[in-house]
Amino acid sequence: MTSFEHTSGISNFNVDYRGHAPPFNRPLTNIANIERNIVAKRNRRIAEDKAEDLLRMVLSDEQKMELVEHDHFHVHTEDGTRKYRIKRGKQHNILLLGADDKVVEELCVHLGESKGRIPVADHMAAQKLMVEANESHMRFMANIWRREGQTNYGLISRSRVTA
């Protein structure tokens, strides 16, 4: 391990750079980081475009129109007994609708530990498919907040999935 000795007018101390040159001797590192960021942003844009294409593939024509006009779409469960609204986003974007399309519950269901790397449209496509294919499992995975009236607002069910 190497260190760089720094001398000030008051005291001497060692700064450990863990085998690397001090920052002021590494101008090419900044250029490499900039290039890496440019490539990462381009790849992110490509992933987002592909995710939007996939979302449009799984939506009906009516759902596509809703998404364009209102930034959300509606999904019915497989048996047709419940109606959900999926808003653009990753968290707290699934709403269970009751009579007169009033929001009854707000659900938070997202794809694993994505740390922001999974595009929003991929989340929305997965959420739509979960509602249609297996609503009970989706609700089991969800954090659910009751939204009936101001006095009842609060978390009513936490996710029981630990992995």
pLDDT, one tens digit per residue, over 127-149 is: 999 999 999 999 998 999 887 65
Beta bridge mates, 97: 83, 103
Give the model's pLDDT for residue 111: 79
Give the model's pLDDT for residue 151: 42
Regarding pTM above 0.85, the answer is no
Give the model's pLDDT for residue 96: 95
81 within a domain of the structure (yes/no): yes
Give the model's pLDDT for residue 55: 97
- Name the stretches of the chain with pLDDT < 50: 1-13, 150-153, 159-163
5 within a domain of the structure (yes/no): no
Q: Which domain holds residue 149?
A: 27-157
21 within a domain of the structure (yes/no): no
162 within a domain of the structure (yes/no): no
Sorted by sequence, the CB contacts under 8 Å of residue 51 that are 6+ apart come out as: 119, 120, 121, 122, 125
123 within a domain of the structure (yes/no): yes
6 within a domain of the structure (yes/no): no
7 within a domain of the structure (yes/no): no
Give the model's pLDDT for residue 110: 79
Domain count, the chain: 1
Residue 130 near residue 94, CB atoms below 8 Å? no
Give the model's pLDDT for residue 29: 66
Question: In angstroms, rounded to a whole number, what is the distance separating the alpha carbons of residues 107 and 92?
Answer: 5
First to last CA, the chain: 39
